[in-house]
Amino acid sequence: MFRFTNSEVTHRRFGRTVVLAISVLTLILLIGCGGTKVYNNDKTVVYNGAVYNLSKVTQINSKISGKLSDSNTVDLRGVDRKQFEAYLEEYETIYVRMAFGLDEQEMLYRANSIEKWSEYSSMLKSFENAGKQITSLMANKKKMQLKLK
């Protein structure tokens, strides 16, 4: 039968305590260094030399209006080719204004006098593409800035 002296038992206990302490500290460090990343939520859009901060914006909407030669303004969202060409036939040109509403602020995207459906169609495609880019910016946690062209 073996008989341990007090110094061997104490030494063994101390060794176990040190191993346990190192294991706990390593575990704490690994938990603290995990995959949690904090992203800054300051999202901005740069367009025509202006910077628009979207970090506190709660609602983004699109506005497409047309000013006719008789000074009336019409909403052009959802207007199809026939309706637009009917306006052109009657008024010859339409001053089209496309903007994004950022809560109380407005970001003017394009404003041009239009004489043909093809001009309006290409302007509308560009506007819709910019809207998709803004939506993508807001949905992506890692992306902080968008430069619109």
What does the pLDDT read at residue 32? 63
Per-residue pLDDT band at 82 (split at 50, 70, 90): very high
Extents of the domains making up the chain: 1-36, 44-147
For 25-72, what is each residue's pLDDT tens digit?
777 776 766 555 655 668 889 988 888 888 888 888 999 999 998 888
- Cα torsion angle, 76, 65, 53, 55, sign: negative
Q: Is the pTM of this model over 0.85?
A: no
What are the residues whose beta carbons fall under 8 Å from the beta carbon of 106, sequence distance 6 or more? 63, 99, 100
The residue-averaged pLDDT of 87-116 equals 92
In the chain, what percentage of residues exceed pLDDT 70? 83
For residue 119, list its beta bridge partners.
none
Residue 65: exposure state from Cβ atoms within 10 A (0-12, 13-18, ≥19): middle
Average pLDDT, the chain: 84
Q: Which residue carries 């001053």 as its tokens?
A: 95
What does the pLDDT read at residue 22? 82
Could you give the C-alpha distances from 79 to 20, 33, 65, 82, 120, in angstroms and in order?
A: 72, 54, 10, 8, 11
The residue-averaged pLDDT of 70-91 equals 91
